Amino acid sequence: MPAHIRPARLEDMPAISRISLLTGRAGQSAEDDHRIGGLPGSVWAEPYVAAELKPDARTFAFVLVNDDAPDLAVGYIVGTADTRAYERVAEERWWPALRTRHPLTSVDDRALMDADRQHVRLLHKPDLAPQNVIEFSPAHVHISLLPSHQRQGWGHRLLDAAVSHLRGEGLDALHLVVNPRNNQAKQFYLKVGFERLPTDERGYEYYGLRSSRFTSFRQ
């Protein structure tokens, strides 16, 4: 199906959040893992689109849309040119409202599922990027595609959009975090030029990409 990439808009946030949920279990749907389906998007995707973080957090976002439905995102890449600035601004302007909506005491609610509890804890204590990862590059991204648009080159093209944006910001590298169980994603990242970044972190893996090693997508 013909599709194209465009800059994300505020009205894309519900679709972006939905994509986060439908790919939230190591690339597979996490719908059955959550009672509160909006939590993954609130943590991993929506803040990069939110107006209240721009421009101080240096965020950016692009979405993939079908040509016949240009208002409905089917994939995205979101990120920031300055991870430490993003962490600081999100702490001031994004997490407080979510912490009020989902207090830490809610993890004791028996109606919630383990994945809900994990994300509520992340709202209250967000993961901060390891310093050696920041030294590799201050920029990071999150990328996600619905299964209907995977293995068609769209992930490569979304990365192309992010790399081009960051080059315009004077940056020649980026990093991202990967669920260790998402083998398909890790294989893709290695194929397009990423390298595994050593860290002492448990639970996540970090990969970095130098733009000099990245080849823009060609049809």
In a domain, 79, yes or no: yes
List all residues 6 or more positions away from 176 whose beta carbon is below 8 Å from its beta carbon. 140, 141, 142, 143, 189, 194, 206, 207, 209
Inside any domain, residue 121: yes
At 1 the pLDDT is 74
Strand partners of residue 66? 3, 69
206, part of any domain: yes
Find the domain containing 117 and state its range.
3-213
With a cut of 60, say whether residue 134 has pLDDT above it. yes
* Residue 153 pLDDT greater than 60, yes or no: yes
Among positive and negative, which fits the CA dihedral 158, 31, 121, 38?
Answer: positive
Asked if the model's pLDDT at residue 124 lies above 80, the reply is: yes
Q: Which two tokens stand for residue 38?
A: 């909006």
pLDDT at 219 over 60: no
Highest mean pLDDT pick, 59-63, 148-152, 198-202 = 59-63
Q: How many CB atoms lie within 10 A of CB 182?
A: 17
- The per-residue pLDDT for 54 is 93
Residue 87 placed within a domain: yes
Q: Which pLDDT value is given to residue 88?
A: 98
CATH no. for residue 166?
3.40.630.30
For residue 185, is it within any domain?
Answer: yes
| Residue 188 confidence (pLDDT) above 60 | yes
Task: Tell me whether residue 218 is in a domain.
Answer: no
Average pLDDT, the chain: 95
**Number of separate domains in the chain:** 1
Percent of the chain with pLDDT over 70: 98
153: left (phi over 0), alpha (psi -120 to 50) or beta: left
Q: Per-residue confidence at 218, pLDDT binned at 50, 70, 90? A: low
